[in-house]
Amino acid sequence: MRLIELTSDYEMKPFDCGDAALNGFLCDEAKLFLDLQLARTYLLCDGEEIAGYFSLLNDKLSKQDVANSAWRKVKKLFPHTKHFGSYPAVKIGRFAISTRYHGSGLGRELMDILKRLLKQDRGYSMFRFLTVDAYLTAIPFYEKNEFKPLAPAGGQGDTQAMYFDMKLLPRP
């Protein structure tokens, strides 16, 4: 399998993860998001087949958007002089695995690839947290990938805000 970055000239292949919104995003929106500089999308390809994908965009983890108990845990990660009202983050806008591969460990593998990709990135800016609005059905998957809740489950409808501390990863 190989990870490729979606480009405007990529010839899209069929993809089905069992969720119409996530399928539709990849087929109909991902290139537009790239063109409008709203999100970058990466495809995990098994030969010609798309086995999974994720989209990334910039974000911030803000006190005002987070439950008090969760914010206390976030603050504890920093010395007192660095208790800010928000911290830089990268958001996983979309994350999906093709139904053909569900339960095979590929989701975890793709999440590890995503984390490593971002940890190794020697870009011009920096961020501390990964964030995601997890589908309620996918919360156990994110928990197993060391994401923590930011608000009570179901607080924002069918998703739960969660975060992962990039400092947990060893330096590349």
Quick one: which H or E segment has residue 120? helix 106-120
Q: For 131, phi and psi rounded to 5 degrees?
A: -125, 155
What is the DSSP secondary-structure string of 128-165? -EEEEEEEGGGHHHHHHTT-EESS-TTTTSSEEEEEEE
Provide the minimum distance between the beta carbon of 75 and ligand COA in the complex, in angstroms, as a whole number. 26
Closer residue to ligand COA, CB minimum distance, 84 or 141: 141
Which alpha helices (H) appear in 26-83, and where do they start and end? 30-35, 68-75
The binding site for ligand COA (CB under 6 A) comprises 17-19, 22, 95-97, 101-108, 134-135, 137-138, 140-141, 144
Name which of 75 and 169 has its Cβ closer to ligand COA: 169
Nearest distance, CB of residue 14 and ligand COA, angstroms: 15
Q: Which residue is nearest to ligand COA (CB)?
A: 107
Distance CA 46, CA 83 (A): 44
| Nearest-approach distance from CB 67 to ligand COA, in angstroms | 19
- CB of residue 72 to ligand COA, shortest distance in Å: 25
In the complex, least distance from residue 81 CB atom to ligand COA, rounded to whole angstroms: 35
- Written as six digits, the tokens of 39 are 């999100």
Residue nearer to ligand COA on the CB measure, 91 or 128? 91
* CA atoms of 167 and 20, how far apart (whole Å): 34
- Residue closer to ligand COA, measured from CB, 103 or 170: 103
